[in-house]
Structure 1
Amino acid sequence: MRNFALAAVAALMVSACATPSVEAQSSDADLMKAFPQAVAGQQRHVLSLPPLDNEDAVKVELLIGQTKTIDCNHQTLGGQLEERTAEGWGYNYYVLPEVRGGASTMMGCPPGSEREAFVTLPQQTLVRYNSRLPIVIYTPENVEVRYRLWRADEVRGLN
């Protein structure tokens, strides 16, 4: 009995020291080969997410915009984020070909209401949380990408 316990502990220690599989050793650089390089005037943003217990209960909101000096009006940028597929790989990525001046509420603002703010595209882009694949976004060089995580609450029934 004692020998069995020692053998079990030794087996656990050996398995803990084993090298990870080839799949686990693949680097982010290898994975990025699936995605095209950024074209002139564009930049590639890569968001790698950490593993979560229940990734199906989380969505990633992409906030794409620019930091600008604005007044008291609500402002948005113009542009359309496109979803594309990496040819031969089947991985999705996102492209914002151009960003334009967008809309503003055009209210009269009091003097001194100017401030710095992050002005975004009007669309809300929610993508699946997936720690195994990066979220890749191509934008013009003067555009920032930020993100926010949304978590699902418990499922409730109607009475």
Structure 2
Amino acid sequence: MRTISRQINKLFLIVFLTITSMAVGQASLTKTDVSIYPKPEKGYKQMIIEVPHSDNDSNKKIEFVIGKWMEVDTCNKHGLIGSIEKKDLEGWGYSYYDFKTDGGVISTRMACFESSKVKKFVSSQPTTVRYNGKLPIVIYVPEGYEVQFKIFKAEDDVYRASEVKQK
């Protein structure tokens, strides 16, 4: 009787943990409610950058690029043609970004003697914004595009510029 009770307890625990892990896995990965932001236009998706809050938020910047994985040659540099517009979220004092592109790509035009291709993330010009661990950075991009970002941190060293004496 004891073994049956233990087996039932084990089975109950397994079922409970499975259901709990499924619920957690389906939960939103965002820590901020983004329902106040507009829904994406047809053919667009909403991307969110959330960074952890720190005591040194003012010493950091976020640089993000929007791009797409493409097969390109290995000897030229490639860039995505597009424009990003910063928009205000009316009534909230927050902002978000809207990226528009027709998918055009610019490239250097060097003759490639090797005709090898490689899959590469072809991106737009970078956008640098304030680091804020309390608010998300919301970006609307066309379907099929991604957002990648870097965090830049200022060192504690402060330098002084030299004055050029005029004669």
TM-score by length of 2: 0.73
How far residue 50 of structure 1 moved from its aligned partner, in angstroms, is 0.6
TM-score by length of 1: 0.77
Confirm or deny that 1:28 pairs with 2:32. Answer: yes
The whole-number CA distance in structure 2 between the counterparts of 1:97 and 1:35 is 18
Question: Are residues 54 and 99 of structure 1, via their aligned partners in 2, closer, same or farther at CA, if it must alter by over 3 Å?
Answer: farther
The whole-number CA distance in structure 2 between the counterparts of 1:51 and 1:115 is 37
Aligned pairs, number: 130
Match of 2:41 in 1: 39
Per-residue Cα deviation, 1:106-154 (whole angstroms, up to 9, x for no partner): 1111234311111111x22101000111000000001110100111122
Alpha-carbon RMSD across the aligned residues, in angstroms, is 1.4
Structure 1: tracts of 5 or more residues without a match? 1-26
Over 2 Å off, 4+ runs? 97-100, 110-113
Structure 2: tracts of 5 or more residues without a match? 1-30, 163-167
* Percent of residue pairs bearing the same amino acid type: 37
For 2:54, give the aligned amino acid.
L
Match of 1:87 in 2: 90
SS in 1 for 2:147: strand
The whole-number CA distance in structure 2 between the counterparts of 1:99 and 1:44 is 18
Confirm or deny that 1:67 pairs with 2:69. Answer: yes
For 1:82, give the aligned amino acid.
E
* 1:47/1:134 contact within 8 Å kept: yes
